[in-house]
Chain A
Amino acid sequence: MLSPDIKTDKGCILIADDDENIREILTCILQQDGYTVFAASNGKEALELLTTSFPNLIFLDLMMPVMNGREFFDKIKSDTRFRDIPIVVMSAYDQSEVKLPANEFLRKPFDMKHLRRYAAAYCHQASP
Chain B
Amino acid sequence: MKLWHILGHALIYWALSQLSFLAVLPAAPSGPALIWLPTGYALAVMLTHSYKIFPAFALASALTGLMLGFNLTLICGLVLANTIDPLLATWILKRYLKPDINLRRTKDATLFIFTVIFLSSTVSATLGVGTLWVFNDLLTPFTTTWVIWWVSDFLGVLALTPFLLIFRTTPLPTFKREDIFESIGVGLALSLILTLVLCQLLGADSLHFIYWLFPAIIWLAFRQGPHGTTAGIISCCTITIAATAAGYGPFIGDTVDKSFIYVQSFLSVISVVGLSMMAAVYERDLAIRQRDDFFLLASHELNTPLLSLDLQTQYLRELVKKNALDIIDSEKRSKLIEINAAAVRRLIEVVQGLLEGARVATGKLSIVRSKCDLRQLVTEAIQNDLPPLLQAKVHFQEGPELLGNWDATKIQLVIHSLLDNALKYGAGKPVSVSLERANQTAKLVVEDKGIGLTKEDQAKLFKRFGRAESIESFGGLGQSLFICKAIVDAHHGSIRVESQKGQGSRFIIELPLG
Q: Which residues of A contact B (CB under 8 A)?
A: 2, 4, 6, 18-22, 24-26, 28-29, 32, 62-66, 68-70, 92-93, 108-112
Contacts and interface: CB of A to CB of B under 8 A. Distances in A.
A2 B335 contact: yes
B314 interface: yes
A125 B324 CA distance: 29
Given A25-B315, A66-B427, A108 B472 contact: no
Counting chain B residues whose Cβ lies within 8 A of the other chain, the interface size class is 20 to 34
Among A19, A21, A93, A110, max chain B CB count under 10 A is at A21
B307 A109 contact: yes
Contact of A109 (B303, B425, B427, B470): B303
A25 B473 contact: no
Main secondary structure of the interface of B (DSSP, over half): helix
17 contacts: A4-B332, A19-B304, A19-B308, A20-B342, A21-B339, A25-B336, A63-B471, A63-B474, A65-B425, A68-B472, A70-B472, A92-B300, A92-B303, A108-B304, A108-B306, A109-B311, A112-B314
Nearest to A18: B475
A28 B474 CA distance: 25
A2 B470 contact: no
A25 B308 CA distance: 7
A110 B308 CA distance: 10
A27 to B, nearest CB: 11
A19 B307 CA distance: 10
Contacts of A2: 332, 335-336
B328 interface: yes
A22 B311 contact: yes
B478 interface: no
Given A2-B332, A109-B311, 12 more contacts: A25-B311, A32-B327, A63-B472, A63-B474, A65-B473, A65-B474, A66-B427, A68-B473, A69-B472, A108-B307, A109-B303, A109-B306
A22 B308 contact: yes
A25 B343 CA distance: 12
B77 interface: no
Nearest to A61: B304
Given A65-B473, A66-B427, A21 B308 contact: yes
Contacts of B306: 108-109
A2 B329 CA distance: 10
